[in-house]
Amino acid sequence: MSKRAYFGTDGIRGQANQHPMTAEVALRVGLAAGKLFRSQDDRRHLVVIGKDTRLSGYMIEPALVAGFASVGMDVRLFGPLPTPAVAMMTRSMRADLGVMISASHNDFADNGIKLFGPDGYKLSDAQELKIEALMDEGLQEGLAPPRGLGRVKRIDDAQARYVEIVKATFPRQLSLAGLRIVIDCANGAAYKVAPVTLYELGAEVIPLGVDPDGTNINHECGSTHPEAMAKLVREYRADIGIALDGDADRLVICDENGQVVDGDQIMAIIAAAYAKAGKLKAGGVVATVMSNLGLERFLGEQGLTLERTSVGDRYVMARMREGGFNLGGEQSGHLILSDFSTTGDGLIAALQVLAVMIETGQPMSALARQFEPVPQLLENVRFGGGKPLEAKTVKEAIADGEAQLNGAGRIVVRASGTEPLIRIMAEGDDPALVRKVVKSIVSAVKAV
């Protein structure tokens, strides 16, 4: 595959007002993506744009709009809205393209641009490469004539539409009445829609992270800082805590005691409930190489499979589509429920867990340990250059570690996609052996 100049593993991302997250690059994205998705017929073409609450959204959004309008695409602006909502609206409004302006769980200083095709799925690598090629062309190429410029409108009911879509994913015969729920919206894209959804389904809602000021997104709140949610759960004696990230495509849950529940346990809760109700498709779940071996064993005991992919929700989604799965996700809390959404949706995933709580009559603490996690150790080693993973000594250390674990564990060694780090993860039933194996591989990498 050709080297990508702008797009990373999840759209274009970087620090605001520095390359590639500048107004000029955003303008080029609008021009290029607009040209690619504007077919040859003479109908009006439509792009929809959502964003989170970052200050830099006010710079990126108008630049994108100028690019799209100048190549003749009509634009509809949603304002602050979760990433999964933008994916849904792209499809339901029959748009040619959807855009989300967000850097997800990153600090406010970063921002990003994610693109969705007319089917609501993230663009393929091939489409992103075509956009990159068009971005580097002259800015005067392919502009619309004065009468053919795009028209721009703000959509005022986008949030209300999303709330109704999400409520419809919750079993109709159930209600959240009697449940006290802490919802931490990370001062991000779901700060309006998440509390409203839970309230309208009957819950008593204690909101947190719902006062965005442009610079406080993900700051000491949200899924990257679950301790804020856990503290409030204990204070208010809530039944459950739900923390979303800045663009609400992932979640972390805590039980009534403030104990955090990771994405693997949440997948296990939903998978078991779906399997019991005959709703789990393709006989299993898709997760990444980082998911705990305990999850794989838990599913195996129930006659279900765990298919593993590379790290990244786009790879999980690709395998789900290929194999017809309807549940997949990452340990980090990216959960994809393809019956309802084309990408991770923290709020919809939380509602599935709430439905299990109500139907079983069990508190969250009883559901939280679906399986005993296998001891897992992850270490990151920074390296100066070269390709340490191709070194003979490193390969030998990994092979030796696998031989020692002897089928009662796993080793995953990979280069980070975003920084010069080698991530070394091992898991197994014997924690002392896991530590020894990781230490040996770390030493081999450092010695290269």
**Cα–Cα distance between 47 and 319 in angstroms, integer?**
27
**Cα–Cα distance between 413 and 389 in angstroms, integer?**
8
Q: How far is CA 313 from the centre of its chain?
A: 6
In the sheet that 260-261 helps form, which strands lie side by side, from edge to edge? 204-208, 180-184, 240-244, 251-254, 260-261
The separation between the first and the last C-alpha atoms of the chain, rounded to the nearest angstrom, is 27
**Cα–Cα distance between 123 and 117 in angstroms, integer?**
6
Beta strands 204-208; 240-244: pairing state: unpaired
**Cα–Cα distance between 344 and 250 in angstroms, integer?**
6
Task: Say which of 56, 70, 102, 104 is annotated catalytic.
Answer: 104
Q: Which residue has the tokens 């393929």?
A: 124
Scanning 105-222, the segments in alpha helix (DSSP H) are 125-135, 158-167, 193-200
Burial class (CB in 10 A: 0-12, 13-18, 19+), 135: buried
Burial class (CB in 10 A: 0-12, 13-18, 19+), 377: middle
Annotation says 104 is catalytic: yes
CB contact set of 324 (below 8 Å; sequence gap of 6+) = 281, 282
**Cα–Cα distance between 307 and 301 in angstroms, integer?**
15
Burial call 213-236: b when 16+ CB within 10 Å, e when fewer: eeebbbbebbbbbbebbbebbeee
How many other β-carbons are positioned within 10 Å of the β-carbon of residue 401? 25
Scanning 178-262, the segments in alpha helix (DSSP H) are 193-200, 227-236
**Cα–Cα distance between 152 and 51 in angstroms, integer?**
16
**Cα–Cα distance between 364 and 355 in angstroms, integer?**
11
User: Active-site residues: which are they?
Assistant: 104
